[in-house]
Amino acid sequence: MKELVIISGKGGTGKTSFAASFAYLAGENAVLADYDVDASDLHILLEPKIKKTYQFYGGKKANIIREKCIGCGKCQEICRFDAVKNVDDKFEINKIDCEGCGYCYRICPVDAIKFEDNLSGKWYISKTRRNSTLVFAKLGIAEENSGKLVSKIKEVAHNLANENNKDLLISDGAPGIGCPVIASLSNANYVLIVTEPSLSGFHDLKRILELVKHFGYSAGCIINKYDINENITKEIEIFSHNNELEIIGKIPYSDSFPKSLVLKQTVVEYDKLDIGKTVERCWSKLQTKL
Ligand code: SF4
Ligand code: SF4
């Protein structure tokens, strides 16, 4: 089984539109995964039916048992994250501010603090309208541990692909260059970087390629909206040539992308002749890399 991971240096480059289009073209031959657990939206385009829902516990948080607390204030004194508040003479812990260090739990003189696994999100196994399996997750507001949740989604998607004899996993990677994207990339067979020709887009491409090369993955790129700045597109092409980054495709600016999003369709469904054909050619080329 091979995994194609689609990433970009930052959000807003059209990464998910390409991931959804390739998922649509691959149909039931592929398992799909969405690693953007902070703002997942692959499911919005693929409109899957949820088959199973699971809870994700990431890290621990402290909680005061009011009936046991004697109000000594020691937990508030020692919490360096200011998570303990005194509200109407009662001590309580703000879950969002608590970093889960467990210090208050250890020093409370009367064992009035519980230190429990924290429910930080949910993940889902679903079926898309193309009858492929999509694994995705939603992290709770202000929750961390997204790298850990990404690793969970990856493990489940790999297992499902292997159990169902699917030879391809198409993954919409987490954005940025931090822990979630590193978790997205682990064991990838090919990494597709979606970029656009702006100064910040080019800068992001360089940063993300550095990360991809550091871990030794094979990579190619799509230059989206290549015609909005053909000078920077040329620079990206020269840079790619010098850094063994194959250009998988160049896509012109097109209002088919936003229009297809409004209709909750992939661009290959919405625009079968023009942009859809160009994206299909990218897909054919990508398949030769896997
Ligand atoms: S340390 Fe324990 S007893 Fe003291 S205020 Fe905090 S929870 Fe209450
Ligand atoms: S677990 Fe750590 S961060 Fe959370 S309230 Fe206790 S001392 Fe503060």
Is pLDDT above 80 for 49? Answer: yes
Any idea what the Cα angle at residue 190 is, between residues 185 and 192, rounded to 5°? 85
Report the pLDDT averaged over residues 275-283.
Answer: 96
For ligand 2, whether the C-beta of 93 sits within 6 Å is yes
Is pLDDT above 80 for 10? Answer: no
Is pLDDT above 90 for 17? Answer: yes
What are the distances in angstroms from CA 33 to CA 12, 61, 130, 239?
Answer: 19, 28, 14, 30
Is pLDDT above 70 for 225? Answer: yes
- Helix (H) or strand (E) holding 192, with range, is strand 190-195
Rg (CA), the chain: 23
pLDDT > 90 fraction of the chain, expressed in percent and rounded: 82
User: 98 C-alpha to center of ligand 2: Å?
Assistant: 5
Are 62 and 100 contacting, i.e. CB atoms less than 8 angstroms apart?
A: yes
Report, in this order, helix, strand and coil percent for the chain, each rounded to 5.
40, 30, 35
Are 195 and 12 contacting, i.e. CB atoms less than 8 angstroms apart?
A: no
Are 3 and 187 contacting, i.e. CB atoms less than 8 angstroms apart?
A: yes
Report the pLDDT averaged over residues 217-228.
Answer: 96
User: 79 C-alpha to center of ligand 1: Å?
Assistant: 12
Is pLDDT above 80 for 12? Answer: no
User: 147 C-alpha to center of ligand 2: Å?
Assistant: 22
Residue 20 binned pLDDT confidence (cut-offs 50, 70, 90): very high
> How would you write 176-223 as a 3-class SS string?
CCCHHHHHHHCCCCEEEEEECCCHHHHHHHHHHHHHHHHCCCCEEEEE
Average pLDDT, the chain: 93
Per-residue pLDDT tens over the stretch 54-87: 999 988 999 999 999 999 999 999 999 999 999 9
- CA 192 distance to own-chain centroid: 14
Q: Considering only 13-27, 62-76, 136-150, 240-254, which range has the smallest mean pLDDT? A: 136-150
Report the pLDDT averaged over residues 98-113.
Answer: 96
Residue-level pLDDT at 279: 96
Report the pLDDT averaged over residues 104-122.
Answer: 95
Would the pTM count as exceeding 0.75? Answer: yes
Q: Which of 56, 85, 211 is nearest to 146 (CA)?
A: 56
Spatial CB neighbours of 133, under 8 Å, sequence gap ≥ 6: 31, 32, 125, 126, 127, 160, 164
Residue-level pLDDT at 101: 95
Residue 222 binned pLDDT confidence (cut-offs 50, 70, 90): very high
Per-residue pLDDT tens over the stretch 164-202: 999 999 999 988 888 889 999 999 999 999 999 999 999
Residue-level pLDDT at 145: 65
Nearest CA to ligand 1 atom 6: 75
Residue-level pLDDT at 139: 87
> DSSP H helical segments within 113-171, as ranges?
146-163
Local structure of 145: helix, strand or coil: coil
Nearest CA to ligand 2 atom 8: 79
Index of the ligand 2 atom closest to the CA of residue 115:
1
